[in-house]
Amino acid sequence: MDPKIPWRIQIGVYGAAAFSNTMPNMGWVIVPVWLLLQGVPDWLIGITIGCRHIGPMLLAIHGGAVIDRMGARRVMIFLAIIGAVTPFLYPITPFIWAIIILQLVTGLVDSLGWVGAQTLVSKVMKGDATYTGRMSFCTRLGLLIGPAISGVAWDHLGPWGGFGLIGFWSTGILFSVFLLPADIDHHPVSDTSERDKGLSMGILTPRLSDYVTAFKLLALPTICFVMAMSLLRHLGGGIQASFYGVHLKDIGISATTIGLLISVNGAFGLIGSLSAAPLQRYFRPHILLLFLVIGSIVFVAITPLLGDQVIALVLASGVRGWAMAASLVFLISMIARYTPTDMQGKAMGLRVTLNQMTWFAVPIVMGFVAEIFGREISFYVIGVAAITLVALMGLWAAWRKAFD
């Protein structure tokens, strides 16, 4: 890490990360409530929310490769503009198929913006835990503010207020990226000349070789473990993104309170972000990661057990937020440590691809489980399955001696 990185660059990177990572969480408040208002059944709610993750699941690695070639700054400017416009289309699309198309577009834009922000942290700041912790702190600050005010905007201004706020939020990415110098992420790789040519079909067309190269990283036990933890960590996120808000709204909790509960993730995440670096002085990062991922799953899967007790819901959301923030620091630091510099974008794209597989599958699975066995049972099914997989992955890492 270069200690002379100007604060303007740091603020630009942290701001881009905070705004891009917060937009999906604001959607967790607004989109499920909007679908519920339209009278959409549970199984179709699951599919609609899951569709948001199809684009990132298929194209995140390609997006990471484009970022490697063209630079994160240029790509993120383009994505921020699209992200500022598309939310305003939701209130004027009463047909479910049109909402699904918007979900596809906004999901891809949000996720690739987050890939770009993580790539900047990894390349410019070398994945240093202190700076990654600051980045995570800023993203949690965004998660504290964004979902809360989106719930308030919905309750007082309706769909136009809720979705309009998300569009306005995307402009924060644009302003943050403009703080960065144009050559912020230039580095000596073989395709630098290709980057300087600007946009071209050759750069924008997905390449099979990029996907093969990215997935080859999984042959490394360390990377395989980190990527698996990243995927499993988001099983809890898949619950929160889909039926968490639907369940709470159905038992009489307002959109404002739901937004505040999701914002509590951000509040406690501020502590988790800053506590990660000190924690690794006493414990090995991969051991910490295991327990943090388990915590992030448990404290959302128990939501139906807590009923409408707001204090209990706040505490559960807070512990989950702390675990999510601290685990993010270790994930990005470990990917930066074990991945070559010229493959950071692909590595972050691979992480997002695996995450999006989870985001896509969980709402759909939960939707059908809820339709058959009830909504509460669906929380427990996903929770137990996720914790079992985390435990098995921990045993695998010990058997392979991946971190010895």
Query: What is the domain-level CATH number for residue 339?
Result: 1.20.1250.20
Residue 339 lies in a domain: yes
Does any domain span residue 38? yes
Say if 107 falls within a structural domain.
yes
pLDDT of residue 1: 43
Q: Would the pLDDT of 314 be above 80? A: yes
Residue 201 domain flag: no
Residue 71: inside a domain: yes
Nearest to 150 by CA among 171, 169, 136, 172: 169
Half-sphere exposure of 15 (CA within 13 A, CB side): 20
pLDDT by residue (tens digit) across 120-137? 877 777 667 677 778 878
Pick the more confident residue, 383 or 59.
383
- 157 token code pair: 């201004």
Per-residue pLDDT, 127: 63
Yes or no: say if 258 and 29 are a contact pair by the CB < 8 Å rule.
yes
The two three-digit tokens of residue 261, written as one number:
């509960």
Domain that holds residue 347: 7-181+213-400
56 falls within a domain: yes
Question: Under a CB-based contact definition with an 8 Å cutoff, are residues 242 and 363 in contact?
Answer: yes
What total of structural domains would you count in the chain?
Answer: 1
**Residues in contact with 164: Cβ distance below 8 Å, sequence separation at least 6, in sequence order:** 87, 88, 153, 157
pLDDT digits (tens, 9 = 90+) for 228-265: 998 898 888 888 777 888 888 888 888 788 888 877 87
Q: Look at residue 185 in the predicted model and tell me its pLDDT.
A: 62
CA atoms in the 13 A half-sphere facing the CB of 345: 25
Beta-carbon-side half-sphere exposure of residue 250 (alpha carbons within 13 Å) = 16
Specify if 169 maps to a domain. Answer: yes
Dig out the tokens for 178 from the structure: 């403009």
Q: In this structure, what DSSP letter does residue 309 have?
A: -
Q: Report the SS3 class of residue 281.
A: coil
C-alpha–C-alpha distance, residues 22 and 25, integer Å:
5
Instruction: Kindly state whether residue 97 falls inside one of the protein's structural domains.
Output: yes
